[in-house]
Amino acid sequence: MNPLLAVFRRDLLQAWRRRADWLTTFFFFVIVVSLFPLGVGPEPAMLRTIAPGILWVAALLAAMLSLPRVFESDFADGALEQLLLSPEPLPLLVLSKTTAHWLLSGVPLALMAPVLGLQFGLDVEAVRVLFWSLLLGTPCLSLIGVVGAALTLGVRGGGVLIALLVLPLYIPVLIFGAGAVETVATGTGAAGHLSLLGACLCIALPLAPWGASAALRVALE
Amino acid sequence: MNPLLAVFRRDLLQAWRRRADWLTTFFFFVIVVSLFPLGVGPEPAMLRTIAPGILWVAALLAAMLSLPRVFESDFADGALEQLLLSPEPLPLLVLSKTTAHWLLSGVPLALMAPVLGLQFGLDVEAVRVLFWSLLLGTPCLSLIGVVGAALTLGVRGGGVLIALLVLPLYIPVLIFGAGAVETVATGTGAAGHLSLLGACLCIALPLAPWGASAALRVALE
Amino acid sequence: MNWFKFSSPQTFYPLAGRLIPVFWVLAVVLAVAGLYIGFFVAPTDFQQGDAYRIIFIHVPAAWMSMFIYLVMAGWAALGLVLNTRLSSMMASALAPTGALMTFIALWTGSFWGRPTWGTWWVWDARLTSELILLFLYIGFMALHASIDEPRRADKAAAILAIVGVVNVPIIYFSVKWWNTLHQGASVSLTRAPSMATTMLLGMLVMAIAFWMYSIAAALSRVRSIILERERNSAWIGQLQESR
Amino acid sequence: MLEVRDLACWRGDQCLFDGLDVRLGAGEVLWIEGANGSGKTSLMRILCGLSPPERGEIRWKGRTLREGRDTLLHDLMYLGHLNALKDDLTVAENLDFHASILELPRDGRLVGEAIEAVGLTSRQDLPVRVLSQGQRRRAALARLWLATDRPLWILDEPFAALDTASVDSLSDLVASHVERGHVVVLSTHQEVPLPVSRTRRLRLDALSR
Amino acid sequence: MLEVRDLACWRGDQCLFDGLDVRLGAGEVLWIEGANGSGKTSLMRILCGLSPPERGEIRWKGRTLREGRDTLLHDLMYLGHLNALKDDLTVAENLDFHASILELPRDGRLVGEAIEAVGLTSRQDLPVRVLSQGQRRRAALARLWLATDRPLWILDEPFAALDTASVDSLSDLVASHVERGHVVVLSTHQEVPLPVSRTRRLRLDALSR
Ligand code: HEM
Ligand SMILES: Nc1ncnc2c1ncn2[C@@H]1O[C@H](COP(=O)(O)OP(=O)(O)OP(=O)(O)O)[C@@H](O)[C@H]1O
Ligand SMILES: Nc1ncnc2c1ncn2[C@@H]1O[C@H](COP(=O)(O)OP(=O)(O)OP(=O)(O)O)[C@@H](O)[C@H]1O
Ligand SMILES: [Mg+2]
Ligand SMILES: [Mg+2]
């Protein structure tokens, strides 16, 4: 089997063995979203206005929470050394890990978000845009995230340091994503915001794997 | 030195060596709170209404994020086995770890929250209540949290499973905490909510260390 | 009669096998009767019209969701303290039924909320605490599923169940402690019920039907758990041979 | 001192040992041998009370683990496969912590001597993270020099990763410990110089089917 | 095949070795010896190109690591202190994964044979989590049986935690590997039966000051 495929397959297989793991990324998302009305109060009109923001922030947090797992176990048990010594180019291997991460953390969020959106009283059009914005936005989150994950590898205080590095970079994605959903209420059309999300993806796709693999080499030195 | 003190001191010492770690729990709190105006939009009146909820939810998430660290490294490197074999009663040792966790994650949040509250336009009285509610609420979060941390130790998918177990139990604390701050705006007086928070603490204080140590024994079996 | 005899899976297994059909029959009969009373005998409500008839499913399910949790936590605690295998198996057999009941209560409740409150969902204390209950059930099952060794899984999940018991009184008393949209208890042992007798009758019959169903479902599940966990023991081998 | 009666241990579907009987008097070493996976670690963890046996009884000074858990915890020094060292703390800080939680005698001088005994004096103020594999093991072993008063040592492959000089000094320590009438249970795959007359060997493979 | 010229390595304020020169021809074993912390692991990681040396040059088949990184990666099989096994995957799945990323020949039969060679056939479908210390090491070593075509093996304490039978079978494998004209660099603290005539010993302590 091709090494890229092998990495991808192994990550999925491991996730399958640890089903609880990615199922709970997903539950985390659901729970965080459900917490807000509790804290903020139950007026439907207000909840409807803040819904896109809350859903997107929760997606950001959920994606971020699952980041440390991307390299951590490989680092701790020495498998990362072996990946670095693979004849295959490292950025491609990283890309294949990133894809697995997205499939396991991003896609479920995009699928669940519409249901939660309905609970907050969003209308069908807004929910549709929410879905597409998440489907475009979550790969960016994964790509930016793995760079952060690689940079904080084996660093004292990694787990939370990652939040500090990654969240600021997530901000544009958040603004375009939540913005896209909000346009539906204001009636200005979501296409602009969605294409900006697409642009983020196009920038992150070639850069992130390269950055992450440079960071990995440094981490193992 | 007394074993309880030794555990406490070691946890603080380790945190000091890994300053980045707990500093970033704190930064995480600040960043999450700052993300909301970006996602939700900048109207001051609305921000003021949702501020208590957002601050409290962010505090919840920050406290939760730092949970896996409580036992994980001790578990991985075998120090937990040694704690279990200490002649000192395990619940007390757990309590001393919990105190360290609170000091490192809860107290900084309580200190920082007033500043953020002012930024959201809360008035001084509300900020004062916010501070006290957090000071009473965060120990509950730590106590409930360590039970979750102990339960998910060495479990497949621990990291995020913890969120699933712990966040639902956090909800009452959130409701009373955010509720206390909201009473200031409605003018009904925060004492009732604060004493409910106190009651939560009184329930959690004897139960949680016991539950956590039972869970630790099970985890190491 | 020696009750402890039935605390071993080996003796419990055939007993459960004999009891299950009885409970199933009772469940079906009572459910049919209850639904008949609910939908054909009970009068239309002058305020809510026919929408109120959801009560015949909603309330029994809500009761069961809380009650099953208590029973489950009780079994789990027993398993933790006495280290009896069967108690822990009972606890894990009850969890899915409890989660189902909670889900039904939530589902029918929000279905009911649409015509009466004008919204599917509000974040009031009772609704929220019921939602927490669902999460607790899911947490129990998830924790159990993510530990391979059954005995460790039992113990860990038991601790969680015990800790979560705190939530049940909160659900029950939430309508009293906070003034909420959800209505307070109208069935109580200490004073006369505040609803029509036929309605009450229908609700009680449905409640018993839900009981019977829960027992039947839990017993069948515990049988399959026993088969799975004890697959290497001698008596299961004999059981298979005797088939 | 240590009595094991009819002990059984199952892992998964497999019996590691069954009907294990051992009686260990004062001043004896029990060397547990066996191929990889024969159950040495499992046995030692059961002896410490960390995991429950499937069946059987363990008595320390005549009392079962259940009754006498406190006595056992005051008498025991256990060293597992893992070193129980915090990467961020220095060798000295780590040792000090372990001495505290195990309620071993500790003051600066004793800790310093223990570190010297394992030859890490020049490394004592470095964080454990930078130490080599063998140096970590030695840092973990330093605890033994503080625990010379504990009558029961249970050591799981203490010699792994050590260089020859360290192997010798550790086996001297074990020998002097049993000479003072204490009990040592250990496992190792290497041939190490133990006091032959006082050493009882237990082969685990023989018991499992 | 492998040439090391004037190599130096510092860690912290301390020189682990300096002016290290080694030339290793086809069919030779380099046994790196030295006390704990003398720099064996550091040297091997430098040889793999995982960490940069302070000074000096390494050539494999006449080309420096920088020029010939690709050749080296296709020729190298490195095994570190850590086992690089995923706790949740089975032994077979782990081995299969490693064979893939290292582009070793792999099909079910070969993987099965490798697992049999390390005596884990009965364990091959268990998650690595439940294996004993020595069984894990053996699962990691199984890679070597798939990598018999790789001309350069770098093995960091491959014998640690192994029982005696496994030690013998591994040293046989090393012997047969060098017989076929390949090169093996390894470190170990135990005395193991290596093919004496082909073994060069390198003591690291001697070089450091
Ligand atoms: C998702 C939404 C809902 C949830 C989670 C929920 C939950 C519950 C629970 C837990 C109980 C049993 C507690 C007790 O017996 O005191 C209950 C009872 C009841 N619920 Fe709901 N409910 C929901 C929506 C509604 C709605 C919309 C109505 C009608 C307007 C309603 C009417 C009732 C009534 C009449 C009872 C029986 C109270 C009694 O007689 O004791 N519920 N509900
Ligand atoms: N869940 C399980 N299913 C099947 N086998 C298991 C399970 N858990 C543990 N085992 C087996 O039990 C044994 C545990 O052995 P233990 O760790 O006690 O070995 P050991 O004698 O210390 O070996 P080593 O010399 O390698 O340290 C191993 O053979 C392992 O494969
Ligand atoms: N930052 C640092 N400051 C001081 N000394 C350091 C630092 N990093 C590493 N060292 C030292 O460098 C050496 C690294 O040795 P290495 O791991 O190569 O040893 P080794 O020969 O493999 O030993 P072992 O036999 O124990 O595996 C150790 O002595 C360690 O203490
Ligand atoms: Mg072992
Ligand atoms: Mg080394």
Asked whether the beta carbons of B1 and B9 are under 8 A apart, the reply is yes
Q: B86 contacts in D (CB within 8 Å)?
A: 73, 101-103
Question: Is the confidence at residue C1, as pLDDT, over 50?
Answer: no
pLDDT of B86 over the 90 cut = no
**Tens of pLDDT along B168-196?**
888 888 888 988 888 888 877 788 889 88
Q: Report the pocket of ligand 1 as residue ranges, CB < 6 Å.
A: C 55, 58-59, 62-63, 105-106, 109-110, 112-113, 116-117, 126-127, 130, 171-172, 182-183, 185-187
Cβ pair B57, A35 in contact under 8 A: yes
Q: Give the distance (Å) from ligand 5 centre to CA of residue E13.
A: 19
* Chain D partners within 8 Å of B94 (Cβ): none
Distance between Cα C114 and ligand 1 center (Å)? 13
pLDDT tens track for D109-139:
889 999 999 999 998 899 998 899 999 999 9
Mean local confidence (pLDDT), E83-87: 86
Chain D, 86-115: which have a CB under 8 Å from a chain E CB?
none
Band of pLDDT at residue D209, cut at 50, 70 and 90? very low
**Residue positions counted in chain A:** 221
Q: What is the pLDDT of residue C2?
A: 54
Q: What is the pLDDT of residue E209?
A: 45
Distance from CA of A32 to the nearest CA of C (A): 12
Domain that holds residue E203: 2-207
Partners of residue B167 in chain C, C-beta under 8 Å: 135
**How far apart (Å, rounded) are the C-alpha atoms in residues B83 and B220?**
11
* Averaged pLDDT, D13-19: 86
Q: Whose CA is nearest to atom 30 of ligand 3?
A: D131
> Residue C55: pLDDT band by 50, 70, 90 thresholds?
confident
Reading the block at residue A73, the tokens are 């176990």
Q: Are E209 and E26 in contact (CB under 8 A)?
A: no
Residue C179 has pLDDT above 80, yes or no: no
Chain A hits for E96, Cβ within 8 Å: 6
Give the nearest partner residue to E162 out of D12, D162, D189, using CB atoms.
D189
Element (H, E) at A162: helix A158-186
Distance C148 CA to ligand 4 centre (A): 20
Above 90 in pLDDT, residue C113?
Answer: no
Chain E hits for A84, Cβ within 8 Å: 50
Q: How far is the CA of D151 from the centre of ligand 2 (A)?
A: 28
CB of E69 closer than 6 angstroms to any ligand 3 atom? no
Measured between CB atoms, which of B155, B169, B214 is closest to C146?
A: B155
What is the nearest CA distance from B170 to chain A, expressed in angstroms? 9
The C-alpha atoms of residue D133 and residue D140 are separated, in whole angstroms, by 11
- Give all chains having 3 or more CB-to-CB distances under 8 Å with chain D: B, E
Dist CA A82 CA A91 (whole Å): 14
- Is the CB–ligand 2 distance for residue E134 below 6 Å? yes
Nearest residue, CB atoms, E103 vs list A14, A18, A87: A87
Q: How confident is the model at residue B88 (pLDDT cuts 50, 70, 90)?
A: confident
Q: What is the mean pLDDT of residues B61-90?
A: 86
- D82 CB within 8 Å of a chain E CB: no
Q: Is C109 exposed, middle or buried (0-12, 13-18, 19+ CB in 10 A)?
A: buried
Beta-carbon pairs below 8 A across chains A and C = 25
C135 to A27, A34, A117, B166, B167: CA distances (angstroms):
9, 11, 19, 10, 9
Residues 184-213 of A with CB under 8 A from E: none
* Neighbours, chain E (3 or more CB pairs < 8 A): A, D
pLDDT in tens, B128-178: 999 999 999 999 999 999 999 999 887 766 666 787 888 888 888 888 898
Decide: helix, strand or coil at residue C7: helix
Residue E174 CA to residue E176 CA, distance in Å, equals 5
- Collapsing DSSP states into helix, strand and coil, what is residue D7? strand
The interface residues of chain D toward chain B in range 62-91, judged by CB-CB distance below 8 A, are 70, 73-74, 76, 78, 80-89
How large is the average pLDDT for residues E40-44?
Answer: 93
Q: Tell me which residue in C80, C128, C149 faces B171 most closely, judged by beta carbons.
A: C128
A50 within 8 A of B46, measured Cβ to Cβ: yes
Ligand 3 site, residue D120, Cβ cutoff 6 A: no
Ligand nearest the Cα of residue E205 is 3
Pull the structure tokens for residue E115: 């697992």
- Residues D132-145: tens digit of each pLDDT: 999 999 999 999 99
Angle, helices A69-76/A90-101, rounded to nearest 10 degrees: 130
B41 pLDDT exceeds 80? no
Asked if D100 and B1 count as a contact pair (C-beta separation under 8 A), the reply is yes
Of B161, B167, B215, nearest to C146 by CB-CB distance is B161
Among E7, E9, E10, E16, residue to substitute to test ligand 3 (most atoms within 8 Å of Cβ): E16
ipTM field: 0.80
Whether ligand 3 lies within 6 angstroms of the CB of D38 is answered as no
> In chain A, what residues touch E102 (CB-CB under 8 Å)?
82, 85-87
Percent of chain C with pLDDT over 90: 37
Take atom 29 of ligand 3 and give the residue whose Cα is closest. Answer: E37
**Is E208 close to ligand 3, i.e. is its CB under 6 Å away?**
no
The best mutation among D42, D202, D203, D207 to test binding of ligand 2, ranked by most ligand atoms within 8 Å of the C-beta, falls on: D42
Question: How far, in Å, are C30, E15, E111 from residue E10 at the CA level?
Answer: 82, 4, 40
For D52, nearest residue in chain B (alpha carbons): B221
Contact yes or no for D136/D97 (Cβ under 8 A): no
Question: Can you tell me whether residue E186 is helix, strand or coil?
Answer: strand
Distance CA A39, CA E194 (A): 69
Mean pLDDT of A132-138: 93
Question: Is the pLDDT assigned to residue C50 strictly greater than 80?
Answer: no
pLDDT-based confidence at residue C188 (cuts at 50, 70, 90) = low
Name the one residue in this structure whose structure tokens are 């957002």: B54
Give the count of Cβ contacts less than 8 A between chain B and D. Answer: 77
> Average pLDDT over chain A, rounded to whole?
85
Q: CATH number for the domain including D200?
A: 3.40.50.300
Ligand nearest to the CA of D162: 3
pLDDT exceeding 70 applies to what percent of chain C? 88
Report which ligand 3 atom has the smallest distance to the Cα of D163: 25
Please count the structural domains in chain E. Answer: 1
Share of chain A above pLDDT 70, in %: 94
Amino acid at D150: R
- B202 at C interface, C-beta within 8 A: no
Closest chain A C-alpha to C180 CA, distance in angstroms: 11
Count of the separate structural domains present in chain A: 1
The residue whose CA has the least distance to atom 3 of ligand 3 is E12
pLDDT of residue D119: 92
Nearest CA in chain E to D82: E133
C55-79: average pLDDT = 93
Full residue range of the structural domain in which residue A180 is found: 2-220
Helix ranges, chain C (H): 9-36, 55-82, 85-117, 125-145, 150-164, 167-177, 197-229, 234-242
Q: Name which of A74, A77, A221 to mutate to probe chain E: the one with the most chain E Cβ atoms within 10 A of its Cβ.
A: A77
D54 part of contact set with chain B, CB < 8 Å? no
**What's the average model confidence in pLDDT over E125-129?**
88
